């Protein structure tokens, strides 16, 4: 008798990948960024395998590829979909909308700040309507491990008036994405699914459902019979009620009860003392803590000692909120603790009841919430906390700030920029890491692709430092504006041909485009022209903008900036108008999109 194989466990991102395959998604588009890069790479891996299979049929394989094909040809059939990276989130969603209206299910992967760019077509598409199912997976970054902020994507559900799923586990992630495509087609609107790195780390079993099959709906042109005002009213009279009903009835919004007897089952009736409302990865954290506490109480409790019953409302669909379900939960509990990462999205909408605790009351921190934060909140739920504890300085001491790589080709340039008496606008690429001391090279940095536009607002000619990925993302628009308006700025394009902050994806070369926009374009190869400092020689004393003396020959700088480049920068700063210098240099971490 054969042993029954144990069901495999999957990470949250692997569950989403399988859900997309089983949903028959045919068009996958992504913009690199933490934490969604690793999810997109699951789709790209299969795309690479398909290209290898195609090449095998055409007999164009080299020896290494032939060996790979030999192991692949006996593997299960690779699903038929296209997947590729783009450099801009607005373009990504617009491309996916084109797939949707033509009857192809589409998936868009972006990080949380990418939602800001794609919000324009997103909001309009809701009342304009779409065709086949379209889902946006937004990767939030509580704790800002790889981002410029801790923005909460769930708010876009309210702004755009779309459904927002926030799954807690791999199985919930699988079910959420499967349902998201169905709901998108039922309402003819895009659907948002929020993920965090916590979901990626979580592992569990999933129950795969029957695979979806085409055909899927195409865009219905009859919507053009209505004016914009009528479209909006139709949405609120017909479509949004469907979303509200979904929120109330979905099994992704579930009440779990735990009692003093540690059975894991509540009484099902009566008035309880404490209820917890959570969403997303935090639901798993809450369940972990409650399970641990129940096990502890089971070991030490006595029959004469009772422990308060805690109910847990876990929300996997957070917009619209299931207000009726929440109202009943509020009425059956004396106190409510809302546990959610990033912003108080749920808490803000229900705190008017007066018995809701969480971030706004100081019981939990903004941004990332850890299990010790939850323990603190439960221990102090009876106390009035006027101001949340400031743990920023304590955490800063524990963690060292990530800086520019020690062997970065542009390190001498950053050191040189810190000595200039001009304002320098940086970007949300590697250059932002040069802003803090000891480099202090960049003065300000607001968004990916923003450097050129920001520098155009300086009172006198300054410098915009922008990577080639940021230029392709949205910086090119700032350059077009600078050229059209005669802006007074020197643009330094750091051309290393990869998106080094997000996994080393290849970047398009826009030099010819820039040359067509402005005549003053120079090119400098920093690798071919670097000057090495002599080991053991006396170090050069320089002063950064903050007035701090630094040694240019210390352990993080063995190379000084080539004098030809520094002279070129000074010469361009002395000229009026727009000047651009492409500074070529290889990324030491990535070479042409591949780890060196």
Choose from 51-60, 255-264, 426-435 the range with maximum mean pLDDT.
426-435
Whether 349 has a pLDDT exceeding 50, the answer reads yes
What CATH code would you report for 410-528+559-584? 3.40.50.970
Alpha carbon distance 575, 553 (integer Å): 31
Find the DSSP H helices in 129-169: 155-160
Residue 442 · residue 465 · CB < 8 Å: yes
Which has more confidence, 577 or 534?
Answer: 577
Instruction: Give the pLDDT confidence score for residue 405 in this predicted structure.
Output: 84
Assign 48 a pLDDT band (cuts: 50, 70, 90). Answer: low
254-258+273-298+307-380: same fold as 9-59+76-249?
Answer: yes
CB-based burial label for 180 (10 Å; 0-12, 13-18, 19+): buried
Class of domain 254-258+273-298+307-380: alpha beta
pLDDT score of 342 more than 90: yes
The CA angle 175-176-177, to the nearest 5 degrees, is: 95
Give the pLDDT confidence of 110-138 residue by residue, as tens digits: 999 999 999 999 999 999 999 999 999 99
User: Six-digit token pair at 345?
Assistant: 């999205």
pLDDT for the residue numbered 423: 93
d(CA 285, CA 312): 12
Q: Which residues contact 453 (CB under 8 A, 6 or more apart)?
A: 477, 478, 481, 482
Domain segments of the chain: what residues? 9-59+76-249, 254-258+273-298+307-380, 410-528+559-584
pLDDT of residue 455: 94
pTM over 0.85: no
- Give the H or E element holding residue 444: none
Check residue 547 and give its pLDDT: 53
CA atoms within 13 A on the CB side of 282: 32
Distance from C-alpha of 240 to C-alpha of 161, rounded to nearest angstrom: 8
Separation in Å, CA 468 to CA 265, 392, 525: 56, 33, 14
Query: Is the model's pLDDT at 91 over the cut of 70?
Result: yes
Task: Looking at mean pLDDT, say which of 87-91, 189-193, 586-590 comes out highest.
Answer: 189-193
**Top CATH class, 9-59+76-249:** alpha beta
| pLDDT class of 78 with cuts at 50, 70, 90 | low
Task: Check residues 500 and 252 and name the one with the higher pLDDT.
Answer: 252
453: which 2 tokens? 């536009």
Per-residue pLDDT at 539: 37
């Amino acid at each position: 008798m054969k042993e029954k194989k144990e069901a495999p466990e999957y990470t949250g991102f692997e569950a989403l990948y399988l859900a997309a395959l089983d949903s028959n998604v045919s068009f996958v588009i992504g913009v690199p960024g933490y934490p969604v890069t690793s999810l997109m790479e699951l789709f790209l891996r299969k795309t690479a395998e398909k290209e290898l299979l195609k090449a095998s049929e055409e007999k164009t394989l080299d020896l290494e590829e032939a060996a790979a094909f030999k192991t692949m040809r006996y593997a299960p059939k690779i699903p038929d979909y296209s997947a590729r990276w783009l450099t801009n989130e607005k373009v990504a969603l617009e491309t996916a909308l084109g797939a949707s209206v033509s009857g192809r299910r589409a998936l868009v992967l972006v990080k949380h700040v990418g939602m800001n760019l794609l919000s324009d077509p997103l909001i309009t598409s809701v009342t304009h309507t779409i065709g086949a199912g379209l889902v946006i997976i937004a990767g939030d970054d509580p704790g800002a491990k790889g981002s410029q902020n801790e923005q909460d994507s769930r708010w876009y559900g309210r702004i755009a008036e779309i459904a927002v799923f926030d799954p807690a586990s791999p199985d919930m992630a699988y079910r959420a994405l499967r349902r998201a495509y169905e709901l998108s087609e039922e309402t003819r609107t895009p659907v948002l699914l929020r993920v965090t790195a916590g979901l990626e780390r979580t592992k569990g079993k999933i129950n795969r459902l029957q695979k979806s099959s085409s055909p899927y709906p195409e865009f219905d042109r009859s919507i053009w019979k209505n004016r914009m005002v009528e479209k909006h009213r139709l949405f609120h009279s017909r479509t949004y009620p469907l979303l509200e009903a979904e929120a109330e009835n979905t099994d992704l919004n579930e009440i779990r009860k735990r009692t003093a007897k540690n059975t894991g089952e509540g009484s099902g009736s009566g008035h309880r003392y404490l209820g917890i409302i959570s969403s997303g990865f935090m639901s798993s954290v809450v369940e972990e803590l409650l399970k641990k506490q129940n096990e502890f109480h089971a070991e030490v409790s006595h029959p004469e000692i009772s422990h308060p019953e805690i109910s847990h409302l876990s929300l996997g669909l957070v917009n619209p909120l299931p207000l009726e379900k929440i109202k009943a939960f509020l009425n059956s509990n004396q106190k409510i603790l809302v546990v959610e990462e990033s912003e108080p999205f749920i808490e803000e909408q229900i705190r008017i009841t007066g018995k809701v605790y969480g971030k706004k009351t100081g019981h939990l921190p903004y941004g990332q919430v850890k299990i010790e934060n939850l323990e603190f909140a439960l221990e102090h739920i009876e106390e009035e906390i006027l101001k949340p504890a400031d743990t920023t300085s304590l955490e800063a001491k524990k963690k060292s700030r990530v800086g520019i790589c020690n062997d970065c080709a542009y390190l001498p340039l950053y050191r040189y920029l810190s000595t200039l008496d001009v304002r320098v606008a940086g970007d949300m690429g590697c250059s932002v890491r040069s802003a803090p001391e000891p480099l202090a090279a960049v003065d300000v940095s607001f968004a990916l692709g923003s450097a050129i536009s920001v520098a155009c607002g300086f009172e006198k000619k300054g410098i915009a430092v922008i990577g080639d990925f940021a230029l392709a993302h949205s910086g090119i628009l700032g350059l077009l504006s600078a050229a059209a308006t005669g802006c007074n700025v020197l643009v330094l394009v750091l051309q290393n041909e990869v998106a080094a902050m997000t996994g080393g994806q290849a970047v398009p070369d826009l030099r010819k485009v820039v040359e067509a926009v402005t005549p003053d374009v120079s090119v400098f190869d920093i690798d071919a022209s670097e000057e090495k400092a002599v080991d053991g020689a006396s170090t050069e004393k320089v002063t950064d903008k903050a007035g701090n003396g630094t040694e240019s020959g210390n352990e993080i700088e063995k190379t000084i900036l080539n004098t030809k480049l520094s002279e070129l920068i000074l010469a361009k700063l002395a000229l009026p108008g727009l000047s651009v210098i492409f500074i070529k240099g290889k990324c030491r971490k990535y070479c042409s999109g591949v780890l060196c």
